[in-house]
Structure formats: C-alpha cells, structure tokens
Amino acid sequence: MTSRRDLLSLGMASAALLAMPVAARAAAAAGAATQAASGPFRILMITFRGETDAERGFRDYFASAGIPVEFIARDVKQNIANLAAILEEIPSLKPDLIYTWGTPVTLGVVGPFDAPASTPFVRDIPVVFSLVAAPVQSRIARSLASSGHNVTGAVHVVPTDVQLRAMQSYLPFKKIGVLYSPAEQNSIAIVDQVKDFCARQNSTLVARTFNLNAQGRPTADGVEAIIADIKAQGADWLYLLPDTFLGTVYDRVTPAALAQRLPTFGAAELAVRQGGALVGLISRYQSVGQLAAAKAVDILVHRKAPADIPIETLKRFSLLINMRTAKQLGGVYPPIDMLNYAEVISLGKDGAS
C-alpha cells in the first residue's frame, strides 16, 4: 500500500497553493493603472457548458489584482458546432484576449499548432485555456514549454500515473475500465497512458467508447449496457478520465456504475462533487482558473507572447472521497491512513452534503 509520504512525493500535495492574487497585485499595479486610464481589457470567454468554478476563479483573479476587465461570455451549450457563430463575432467584439474552456473549444479556436496559415483559426489574438487535459497530445501545443503559437494555459489533470497509484492505494486492482469519446484526442492520449501503466503493473485495461449518433457525436444512449459489460469483463474500477463529453453525462454514468457495484475514480473535481464518484485526485477548478488568469495577466499587462509562457499544472492536488458513495457500494471505505490527508465529503444526487 502506498503511504502518505509516497503520495506526497508523487505530487499530491506540496508547498502553499499559488498565492497568486497577492503576487499579481504587486506585479501588475502599474500596468493596471495605465489600462484603467484607457479603458478595461476586453476578454472573450468561450465555455462548453456554462460557467464553472474555473471561470469564477479567472474573474476573481483580475478583481483581486485590481485590473479592469470587460468580460464577454459565450457558451457553445455542449455542441461544438455552435462555435462557428461565436468565431464570426470576434471581429466586431474586438477582444484583447480569448479564454477557452476544454479541449474541443480550444482546438476549435486556435487549431493544431502546425495548421497551415490558410486555415480559419484565430492566430492574431492571444488565447489562454483552462481545463485542457493533454495540450501536447491533442496538438494544441508543440510542447509544454512553448505552444509554438498564440496560446498558453493551465492543465487541470493530475498526471495519470499519480492518479492510478492513488487508485491502487484505495483499492488494489487487476483490471481498470474506461469509457471515453473516440473523437476527443485528449481522451485517446490518456487511454494510451493508462494502457502503458497497466502494462508496467501487470494489470489490464478494459476500454470502451460511447456510442455515436447519426451525426457522429457521442451519446449517452446505451451507457448502462456498456458499463455492465465493463463490469462483466472483470474491471475493479471505472476510471472517469477527463473527457469533455463524459463530464456532461455523469448523471448517467455514475448511477450505472453504482448499480454494478463498480467503484469510480474521477480525474476532474466535478466527477466527485457533482457526479458522485467514489474518489478523485483532482486540481480544484477555481485554482485552475486563477492559474489561467495569471497567464492572461502576463500577456495583457506584461506584454508577453503566449508562446513564451509555459503551459503548467498546479503544484498542489486534492484527494476527495465521497463517503455516501462508499456506503452505497457496500462499504468500500478508504484505508484509515488515507483519511489523514483526504477531504471527506458526503454528497447525494443533488450535490448536497
């Protein structure tokens, strides 16, 4: 069993988290004063499923730093096809910076880093993303050190091997089940990472994809049968990887897993707090939004190019355990020593404690 010290060394906790608003107030004061005289910055915020704590953290960072900003909110309403109309608005909106949520939206705005100049992606306005799990593997960025073009941002996902070791510490496994969208490049990349981990640990991956509708988009139809099949194949866990579509159907996925007595491990905060997953090793959305905002300040106030600003993840992660789900699974409770550093919650279907 992995000890607390081992998990800490894997990055589950570290020194104090960011303290970014204080640093931003000191570093950006002169630039903010100059900008206030000429009018606020204009930031277009494009989200996938409405505002989350990431956007609230992003906005709060600017407010704490005293930097005047006009936020323009647009949402694709869980349908990436709606992005085209938002992109058509950009010339009239004249944003100084674009904030994007998630891999599909970010790719739809900036495109792959090596896309030809003739492609209709935004390349003349700086872009900062949050909630992108694998920016290099999805070809948003050439590397984490430099995207190679007009984008930088904040990764919200704890390294895959660290998550899987935490999963082992809670409940050892021989088989891991995953359910993902076949069109999401970040999901494919993470599934490959899980496969590599399983090969090293002499365990097995049971991978299934969502069904697709007539338009080729993932659908929750048949998800209960898919999860029943994952369980029938002998999976000890269902790993809820950071898949954008999966995040919209937790209300179908986690009850189906509960019905199969299949524990769920979430890579994203909402998987546990709203989705009812048993446990998750996560970066808090609000803190991810603050990290993205710090990068936006570097661009807007300090005039740094996005390609010169590294893409980063947080330095501190949180282990969330849902005791209500543990009880519903028949008493799949965590090891006693894990309770020394985990945040224990007890959430019902409505997300209330």
Task: Render pLDDT for 64-108 as a digit per residue (tens, 0 to 9).
Answer: 999 999 999 999 998 999 999 999 999 999 999 999 999 999 999
Q: pLDDT of 140-160, one tens digit each?
A: 999 999 999 999 999 988 899
Q: What is the pLDDT of residue 117?
A: 81
DSSP assignment of 171-235, as one string? Answer: S--SEEEEEE-TT-HHHHHHHHHHHHHHHHHT-EEEEEE-EE-TTS-EE-TTHHHHHHHHHHTT-
Structure tokens at 288: 């991810």
- pLDDT band at residue 183 under the 50/70/90 scheme: confident
Residue 80 burial by CB count (10 A; 0-12/13-18/19+): exposed, middle or buried?
middle
Band of the pLDDT at 24, cuts 50, 70, 90?
Answer: very low
Place of tokens 């930031």: 43
The answer to whether the beta carbons of residues 58 and 101 sit under 8 Å apart is no
Helix segments in the chain, DSSP class H: 4-7, 20-38, 53-65, 83-93, 103-110, 160-170, 185-201, 223-232, 250-259, 269-273, 285-300, 323-328
Closest listed residue to residue 46, CA positions, set 66, 74, 67 = 74
Q: From CA 332, how far away is CA 351, in angstroms rounded?
A: 20
Angstrom distance (rounded) from CA 113 to CA 191: 22
- Output the average pLDDT for the chain: 88
Whether residue 95 contacts residue 43, with contact meaning beta carbons closer than 8 Å, is answered with yes
Q: Sign of torsion, CA 271 288 217 185?
A: negative
Please tell me the predicted confidence (pLDDT) of residue 124: 94
pLDDT digits (tens, 9 = 90+) for 192-210: 999 999 999 999 999 999 9
Residue 14: pLDDT over 80: no
Question: Residue 164 has which token pair?
Answer: 């899987």
Query: Rounded to whole angstroms, how far apart are CA atoms 235 and 174?
Result: 7
Both tokens of 73, joined, read 């909110």
Complete edge-to-edge strand list for the sheet that includes strand 204-209: 204-209, 175-180, 237-240, 264-266, 279-282, 318-322, 343-345
3-state SS of 65-93?
A: HCCCEEEEEEECCCCHHHHHHHHHHHHHH
Pair of tokens at residue 170: 């809670």
